[in-house]
Amino acid sequence: MTALQRFCHQRTSWALLFVSGLALELAALYFQYVLNFDPCVMCIYIRVAVLGIMLSALVGLIMPQYWIVRFLGMGGWLVSSVWGVKLAIELNEMQVNPSPFSTCSFFPEFPNFMPLDKWLPQVFSPTGMCGESVWSFMSISMVQWMIIGFVVYCLLWLVMVLPALTPKR
């Protein structure tokens, strides 16, 4: 068994994935409540994609020694990462090429069985506009950093998928 396979079969790998998502969520809350940057509805959806990565990491963290648990965790990780890239690219397009015909909603459209904006409005209720780019670092906007982050999550998934789904020998 290779070192990468052993790493994928341990809780440490899943815990690192969870901690990275938690760091992103905490950073979002720091920007919102300390720096007073209001999140738009697309930003909230991006938070949900990061939450999906965190929940997938928790699934893998439960029992990483079982193939089916790792499979479910890897599936959620991939779906959340790809969805996050898609959302971040859409938001970036709205910010880079503003158009009165390309705007986002003022209200999140969560499913009836999971109204996150009602359950936890402090985290999942949008108060900003999608077209505003309020922060940048090294000339890269916040949403562009999120594109980079989600692409890194996708690349890490590609590196980890075969070792994670290979049975222990």
Is 8 noted as a catalytic residue in this protein? no
With beta carbons less than 8 A apart as the criterion, state whether 49 and 25 touch: no
Count Cβ atoms within 10 A of the Cβ of residue 114 and give its class: 0-12 exposed, 13-18 middle, 19 or more buried: exposed
CATH topology of domain 3-97+123-165: Bromodomain-like (1.20.1550)
Three-state secondary-structure class, residue 99: strand
Task: Write the CA distances from 132 to 40, 105, 136, 149, integer angstroms.
Answer: 9, 14, 12, 20
Give me the catalytic one of 40, 70, 154, 169: 40
Give me the catalytic one of 43, 70, 154, 169: 43
Is 130 noted as a catalytic residue in this protein? yes
Give me the catalytic one of 8, 11, 130, 169: 130
Residue range 49-94, pLDDT digits in tens:
999 999 999 998 888 777 788 888 889 999 999 999 999 998 888 8
Pick the closest to residue 42 from 111, 114, 128, 122 (CA basis): 128
Residue range 97-127, pLDDT digits in tens:
777 666 777 777 777 787 777 787 777 777 7
Give me the catalytic one of 6, 11, 70, 104: 104
